[in-house]
Structure 1
Amino acid sequence: MGRVLAAFALPLSAPAQGADVLVAVAANFVRPAERIVDDFVEMHGAHVALVAGSTGKLYAQIRNGAPFDVFLAADQRRPALLEDEGFALAGSRFTYAVGRLALWSGREGVEVHADMLRRGDFRKLAIANPELAPYGLAAREVLSRLGALAWAQERLVTAESVGQAFALAATGNADLGLVAAAQAQRAGHGSLWLVPESLHEPIRQDAIMLARSRDNAIAAAFVAFLRTDARGVIASLGYGVASR
């Protein structure tokens, strides 16, 4: 009846294999997805399992046959590619959340601002891998637009996902992290600067139903729930919601 949160790995665990709906979810959206699944399960009594990872890695696994029903990406590009390549159901793609980026320190009382990046007032900066994670790509755009990308390269600590980048900053393995604002706000501690949206392209996160879910009525119901009932949860946890 419940849901399982699995680290990104194959083969899948037995609980994940037995799920009515198997959802691949971008690392930044794991906590909201858990809340949404809890609400959906309470209403429908289904077994929904979550498998989390970077958007790029999940995309690659889907193309290699991973048995996911729904993909909650952190960008628009990978769901669109899956639709074009025939791995997803045409016409099922939509934007479920709009993310923000934050510069975050796990320490209290730190004056976090753009000049820290411009002047290099840090030893290590954690970002997600720009090749795999949309939040990492946005972080690289921020550094570039602030004129800090070239010299900051040697101080970057690159994580596979934005969730791992946040963990590096939270544990002190990096002084700062360019991470999902929702993660930083939810932490309830530390110091943050909300990065102006003018410094990077919009982080529009798309969902799509995958080809194997064509006849899965529970997967269709979950996606419908994400489009409607879940909007309040998404907004309450620090994400924008696209107009219907």
Structure 2
Amino acid sequence: MMKRAVFLRQGLAAILGGLVGFAGVAHAGEVQVAVAANFAGPLARIAESFTAATGHKLVVSAGATGKFYTQIQAGAPFEVLIAADDETPKKLVAEGLAVAGSNFTYAIGKLVLWSAKPDFVDAEGRVLAGKAYEHLAIANPKLAPYGAAGVEVLKARGLYDAVAPRLVTAESIAQAYQFVSTGNAELGFVALSQVAVPGKPAQGSYWLVPSALYGRIRQDAVLLKTGEKNAAAAALLDYLKSAPAQAVVEAYGYGH
């Protein structure tokens, strides 16, 4: 009888343990995230530790913030927007498409002029005024804040009219990077986070554009109305503010 009682207690403990484990899995959720292309790399790193800590998984779409704005207005099922600016999240809140008070700045973006060729870009960006290149890639300034910042730099340097015929407009900053990396453009305005990847040697050459030459790229995240009742969406936004997530943000060269 005693052996049977011990066996029953062990069996009951195993069943209860299984139920607890199953409950933990059941509480793990999924969140649909729209992320600005410049932050796709850092988010991939953050997603690993976020999933390990919470069990929640991310379903990520990367692209231009302006394009996401249009898609969200049209009813796209994104639950969190991690934008490349602060204006888009504010507009979504004002339009009732995002939760009021949920938007916050997770990073300050930094712009670089980049070439896949070593020693092609000098430390002051003087190459912009020369004739050593035929094409300059830039993200669509109407959709991508980094593209708008690139236009600001050209105008601040008094080069916009001269350089305009050489501009190659990309749909997003990811595509602008692709144009340069494949050699379809000798130069491109991209994010520092795309060329200064932690743990990897910098590719080519770049000029870190002085912040005085373009408006502050304040990047905000916001909880969309579609994710208002999703605990995983709220948990992701909380995690973005955490020390581990901010350490990744800093490692990729963003400011706070």
Same fold (TM over 0.5): yes
Given that 1:26 and 1:54 are in contact with CA atoms closer than 8 Å, whether structure 2 keeps it comes out as yes
The AA in structure 2 aligned to 1:238 is G
Unaligned runs of 5+ in 1: 1-18
Structure 1 equivalent of residue 228 of structure 2: 214
Give me the whole-angstrom Cα distance separating, in 1, the residues matched to 2:50 and 2:196.
25
Partner of 2:238: 224
Q: 1:162 aligns with which of 164, 167, 173?
A: 173
Q: Within 1, Cα distance between the matches of 2:205 and 2:69?
A: 33
Matched, 1:179 2:190: yes
Aligned-residue offset at 1:120: 4.3
Equivalent in the alignment of 1:3: none
User: 1:106·1:190 contact (CA, 8 Å) conserved in 2?
Assistant: yes
The alignment partner of 2:196 has SS state of helix
Cα distance in 2 for residues equivalent to 1:157 and 1:27:
18
| Corresponding pairs, count | 223
> Which one has a bigger Cα radius of gyration?
2
Cα-to-partner distance string for 1:11-31 (whole Å, 9 max, x where unaligned): xxxxxxxx7101100011100
Q: Distance in 1 between matches of 2:151 and 2:168?
A: 12
Task: Please give the TM-score of this superposition, normalised by the length of structure 1.
Answer: 0.88
Contact 1:181 1:194 in 2 (8 A): yes
**Match for 1:102: what amino acid?**
V
Identity %: 47
Choose between structure 1 and 2: higher helix proportion.
Answer: 2
* C-alpha separation in 2, matches of 1:108 and 1:196: 21
The residue number in structure 2 matching 1:203 is 217
* Matched residue type, 2:252: L
Give the superposition deviation at 1:115: 1.7
8 Å Cα contact 1:27-1:162 kept in structure 2: yes
- Which letter maps to 1:235? E
- The residue aligned with 1:27 is 37
- 1:200-227 CA distances to partner (integer Å, 9 max, x unpaired)? 0011100000001111111111100001
Are 1:124 and 2:138 matched, yes or no? Answer: no
CA RMSD of aligned residues (A): 1.2
CA contact (8 A) 2:146 2:191 kept: yes
Letter of the structure 1 residue corresponding to residue 145 of structure 2: P
- What's the offset of the Cα at 1:128? 0.3
Amino acid at match of 1:237: Y
Aligned-partner Cα distance in 1 for 2:57–2:239: 15
1:149 aligns with 2:191: no
Query: 2:253 maps to what in 1?
Result: 238
| Cα distance in 2 between the residues matched to 1:57 and 1:120 | 33
Q: Which runs of 4+ in 1 moved over 6 A?
A: none
